[in-house]
Structure 1
Amino acid sequence: MTTSRTGAARGARGTYCGHCGGPCVPWTDGGGNADDGGTAAPSPAHRQCLSSLQWEPPRFCVQCGRRLKVQVTPLGWRAECSRHGPTTAP
């Protein structure tokens, strides 16, 4: 796949965190309120990662957790996974 996945890079749902590479799993808060599948980070542990991704490019692929090859330019950034292709800045 070589299409742009800027949503995935900016914190949309994925299997892995784009900032730290850790697994993103559905959660509940203990009071019966489950993850609603929205655009927020999938678990409280990745809220800091989500805020970091608003200002810097992703470092890990959200689909497989592999480290990305990232190139930063004056006009934006480009990140590429060896398995899933490029992700570009919006």
Structure 2
Amino acid sequence: MFDPYTGAEAAGGSALARPVAARLGLEPPRYCTQCGRRMIVQIAPDGWWARCSRHGTIDSSLLEQR
């Protein structure tokens, strides 16, 4: 597993220092959580989407449904 905001490998529950905007929910993820690759991110007035070349696309509307 990788941190979606820093790309650092998440080691067994250790706390990672995240940017303030990410902690406030104002920043979309920039890295794939499965492989750690940098994603293509598009921000729109009503949300955002991010695409990993290997693992596909995630969308802000998908996260709001949870």
Flag whether TM exceeds 0.5 (same fold).
yes
User: Normalization by structure 2: what TM-score?
Assistant: 0.79
Q: Matches of residues 1-90 of structure 1 in structure 2 within 5 Å?
A: 15-26=1-12, 42-44=13-15, 46-49=16-19, 52=22, 54-89=25-60, 90=64
- The runs of at least 4 aligned residues of structure 1 exceeding 4 Å deviation read none
Q: Structure 2: 5+ residue runs without aligned partners?
A: none
CA spacing shift, 1:87–1:67, aligned 2, 3 Å: same
**What number of residue pairs does the alignment pair up?**
60
- The answer to whether the 8 A contact 1:19-1:50 is kept is no
Q: Which amino acid aligns with 1:64?
A: C
Q: Structure 1: 5+ residue runs without aligned partners?
A: 1-14, 27-41
- Relative CO higher for 1 or 2, CA cutoff 8 Å, sep ≥ 6? 1
**CA-CA distance at 1:47 after TM superposition:** 4.6
Aligned-pair identity in percent equals: 38
User: Normalization by structure 1: what TM-score?
Assistant: 0.60
Larger Rg over CA atoms: 1
